[in-house]
Chains A and B, each alone.
Chain A
């Protein structure tokens, strides 16, 4: 079973957040709490449910990640983009 992290969108602004080891919802994937095994993953899900009830986040779910020299890497491409933000500069249409 792959290592897992729980992610959601923050209620107030929709920002992508991850549950950190000290129980905060943070924007940096690097600070996310990584669960190995089912029990740890279930604990993350329970924390996610509490955060929904507490009006902090919307629709939390687990994602699979790998831990390597570059830190925590989501397996799916979509999650890599969620973690880094749009791959293009904003506004004005110009590249660079």
Chain B
């Protein structure tokens, strides 16, 4: 993992002490709320419906076991014994007291963590494929490049006050597990015909009120020029992006209004004029950072572990879990394990301090002390020997972290919604819970196959509803909670935006609506191999509309 250098460490410690002073001045009355608000937001501290909320960055979704234990400790000591993992690969604490937050940040700094770049109109915490460094077919670990971007963007004087927040995601496989097309910039690492390392550069994606899929403005950018090219994009945006209208300030609106071709031309022109060598990192520095992401000391193992294969054939419950929650690893004899934070009827993304501590121990034992946070609000241990899968499965089951539902209909993304969020129109979590309970039969769940349900409590779309196969958006109708359903969205390499299927449903009817959509799919699919998304793309919305609305 990447280790801070002395400069980084000092920077973070200085920020903690600076914030301690600001909190004291707020509590003593020297600072008003208007003065204090931007300062607290710069340190990840929000004021929500019932309490403050502290959002902690987990750069590119990677945690060490020591960091996860620290989060468990904070949850216990300063909060209410749990934390919430978000779609931005962050962790949120829902109940910190204002006076405690400097101490929390100081504790985080001890394990090289902080809450910087989790708020404000800056380049936010860069996200990555959560299987980075492990995924079969990967070009190289995308976190190398995330770290390069992190170092370049943290406190970049030119980009601390952008027109609006700015999100970058990086992947390095054909499969997109990081939702590249709904980021301000999506970067896919690849090699050209000559074997040279580079990026496909996608710009102008986003969700929220105006969902847009990012356009590829450069199919191949030589990797060594990444920073200068990003700087050219950011400069173009900083110069032309709108600051007068919050709803029009994202880069997606700029790309759309000038047109992707013209935007590309502007960026290329800016880039050509730049002194690349002043911005791009020298090869030696790239190598230095690369060395931090060297693979862990894997054992030389056969491709398939015989004992594991035997167990899988003999134990249907284990086989079910393997099928849903275990993914292929690039190293022979190893596997990637996703820990479901979606127990049936549970709160998507929540983990207790006890679970965090136990997962840290399991990571030490089975996965080189490393934990990943996925944007789908699960955790992952990405370097597990196949031989250890049986024992790990038992341990996870005891922790209620082995629900065999990853990628299935009850692996629901849900934002905090009106139970916590001051911007919400409606609740998300109880809807996720009710759907999850209704669909929890494991045979049925497996029978339905891959199905991504994503719920947001308002149009800000933190729950990614626009790219859910079934998207659910909470709306306020005369002070009551209603839910608008979209179908056919997808965040993967075949990204698409969902289409509104019709008028919103009441809270009582929303579970029925989801079940009706699933029943319609089951009746129309060509066979179990035709996934929901594929079937929807083939048959379109009409049969679903018919089933949902015709009788009324």
Instruction: State how many angstroms separate the Cβ of A71 from the closest Cβ of chain B.
Output: 19
User: Chain A interface (Cβ within 8 Å of chain B)?
Assistant: 9, 11-16, 52-53, 55, 58-59, 75-78, 81-82, 85-88, 90-96
B-side residues, CB < 8 A to A, are 26-29, 33, 47-52, 80-82, 94-95, 97-99, 341-343, 345-348, 350-352, 355, 400, 418-420, 424, 427, 429-430, 433, 437, 476, 479-481
CA distance A13 to B476 in the complex (A): 28
Name A87's contact: one of B27, B94, B352, B419 (CB within 8 Å): B419
Q: Given A13-B51, A58-B33, is A92 in contact with B400 using a C-beta cutoff of 8 Å?
A: yes
Contact, CB under 8 Å: B419 / A94: no
Chain A residues with Cβ under 8 A from B26's Cβ?
11
User: In the complex, what's the smallest C-beta–C-beta distance from B534 to chain A, in angstroms?
Assistant: 31
Least distance between A69 CB and chain B CB atoms (Å): 20
- Whether the pair A93, B52 counts as a contact (CB closer than 8 A) is no
The 10 lowest CB-CB distance pairs between A and B, nearest first, are A93-B346, A91-B82, A86-B419, A14-B51, A95-B345, A14-B52, A13-B97, A92-B352, A93-B347, A93-B350
Docked CA distance A59–B48 (Å): 12
Residue from the set A9, A14, A88, A96 with the largest chain B CB neighbour count within 10 Å = A14
Chain A residues near B82 (CB-CB < 8 A): 90-92
Contacts A12-B97, A86-B419, A90-B80 supplied; 9 other A-B pairs, CB < 8 Å: A9-B47, A52-B33, A86-B429, A90-B81, A92-B82, A92-B346, A93-B346, A95-B346, A96-B345
Q: What are 28 A-to-B residue pairs whose CB atoms are below 8 Å?
A: A9-B47, A9-B51, A11-B27, A12-B97, A14-B48, A14-B50, A14-B51, A16-B49, A16-B50, A52-B33, A55-B28, A58-B33, A58-B47, A77-B481, A81-B49, A86-B50, A86-B429, A88-B419, A88-B433, A92-B350, A92-B352, A92-B355, A92-B400, A93-B343, A94-B345, A94-B346, A94-B400, A95-B345
A-side contacts of B94, CB under 8 Å: 90
Residue A15 contacts which of B51, B80, B479, B480 (CB distance < 8 angstroms)? B51
Beta-carbon contact of A88 and B98 below 8 Å: no
Across the two chains, which residue of chain B brings its CB closest to A90? Answer: B80
CA distance A88 to B481 in the complex (A): 16
> Which of B52, B355, B420, B437 sits near A86, CB closer than 8 Å?
B420
The CB with the most chain B CB atoms within 10 A, among A55, A76, A85, is that of A55
Neighbouring B residues of A14 by C-beta, 8 Å:
47-48, 50-52, 97-98
Residues of B within 8 A of A58 (CB): 33, 47
Chain A residues in 8 Å Cβ range of B51: 9, 13-15
Find chain B residues with CB under 8 A from A77 CB. 418, 476, 479-481
* A59 CB to nearest B CB, Å: 7
Contact between chains at B419 and A78 (CB < 8 Å): no
Residues of chain B lying within 8 A (CB to CB) of residue A81: 49, 418-419, 427
Complex: how many Å from CA A28 to CA B99? 23
Name the residue of chain B whose CB is nearest to the CB of A91: B82
Distance A13 CA – B52 CA, assembled complex (angstroms): 7
How far does the Cβ of B35 sit from chain A's closest Cβ, in whole Å?
A: 12
- The answer to whether B48 touches A87 (Cβ under 8 A) is no
Q: With both chains docked as a complex, state the minimum distance between the C-beta of B327 and any C-beta of chain A, in angstroms.
A: 22
Q: B99 contacts A12, CB within 8 Å? A: yes
What is the minimal beta-carbon distance from B412 to any residue of chain A, in angstroms?
Answer: 12
Q: What B residues does A53 contact at CB under 8 A?
A: 29
Q: Write out the residue numbers on chain A whose beta carbons fall within 8 Å of the beta carbon of B343.
A: 93-94
Q: Give the distance in Å from the alpha carbon of A85 to the alpha carbon of B427 in the complex.
A: 12
| Residues of the B chain whose Cβ atoms lie less than 8 Å from the Cβ of A16 | 49-50
CB distance from A70 to the nearest CB of B (A): 17
Which chain A positions have C-beta within 8 A of B479?
Answer: 75-77
| Min CB–CB distance B242 → chain A (angstroms) | 27
Query: CA of A82 to CA of B419 in the docked complex: distance in angstroms?
Result: 8
- Closest chain B residue to A59, Cβ basis: B33
Residues of B within 8 A of A12 (CB): 27, 97-99
On whether A82 and B351 interact (CB within 8 A), knowing A55-B29, A93-B346, A94-B346, the answer reads no
